[in-house]
Structure formats: C-alpha cells, structure tokens
Amino acid sequence: MSAGAGSAAATAGGSAPSTLREAYGDGGAAGRGPVVPGHVSLAARVLTRVAAAVVAEQLRVDRAEVRVDASDDAGHLALRVTTPVRVPALSGSVQVPAGGVVGLVRELQSTLTRRVSEITGRTVSRVDVTVSRSVLDRTGRVA
C-alpha cells in the first residue's frame, strides 16, 4: 500500500487501518474480502472438474468414471452428471440407505449444489443426474 493510500483510508481516530477489510470494507460479502473492480470468469472446464471431484468424493467412485457437463441456465449454473453409484452387497444383513439409489442421488444433488456454489461462487440452479451403472461395495470379507 502506498503512503498516500494509508493516509486516505485512515480511520476517524487518525490511525491507519491494520487490514484491507478495515480500509475498504467487505463490500457486503462477508469473508470474501474487498470488492475490486474487474472481471472474473471461470472456464467451463474448471466448473466441470470441481463438480466431478465433488461427485466422486460424495459417492466414493472413481473420478475417471464421472462425467459432468455445465451450461448456463438464465445466468446460473446447470449441471448434467453421469456417474456410477456404489451399492452395498445384497446380503440379508446389509443396511440399504434411506430411499435406496434414488435417495443417494437426491442427497448428491443437494451436496453438489451446495459444494459447487461454495467452491466456485456460482449459483447452481439445477443438477440432472444419470446413473450409468452400479458398483458393488465390497466389505473386504471373503465368503
């Protein structure tokens, strides 16, 4: 910060602010720092990779098997996801998640909307999910 900038942003008490937030405020975006003029754009590739990483983590599937397409939906982000889902071995003692596969997908939609918005700062308006296949979740026991 130049000497002139510090004196121009001095507080009423006459001392210079100790942080940029004190000097310029947070622009109404708590936790995001001061508003700086300019344009920020994220390439579609960044958005799709972030979304794919969230899907792979949430469903515990291989990232390489997750496909995500991003498109504009009236200024918001629409995501189209194709992914496998992990299902438990179908033995009598297994606990099936509430809602089954559909429940897993609904939870994924909610988590993906929240996490992609947090990470990219873009509002996600819709998430369409296609389940491409199921992956058997093995417990590691041998019968």
Residue pLDDT, tens place only, 43-80: 889 999 999 999 999 999 999 999 999 999 999 999 99
Burial of 70: CB neighbours in 10 Å, binned 0-12, 13-18, 19+: buried
Pick from 121, 125, 103: nearest CA to 58: 103
Query: In the chain, where are the structural domains located?
Result: 1-38, 44-137
Share of the chain above pLDDT 70, in %: 69
> Which of the residue ranges 94-98, 109-113, 117-121, 122-126 would you say has the lowest mean pLDDT?
94-98
Pick from 137, 135, 110: nearest CA to 124: 110
Q: Greater confidence, 136 or 45?
A: 45
With 50 as the cut, is the pLDDT of residue 27 above it?
no
For residue 32, the model assigns a pLDDT of 61
Class of domain 44-137 (CATH, top level): alpha beta
pTM: 0.68
Confidence of residue 99 (pLDDT cuts 50, 70, 90): confident
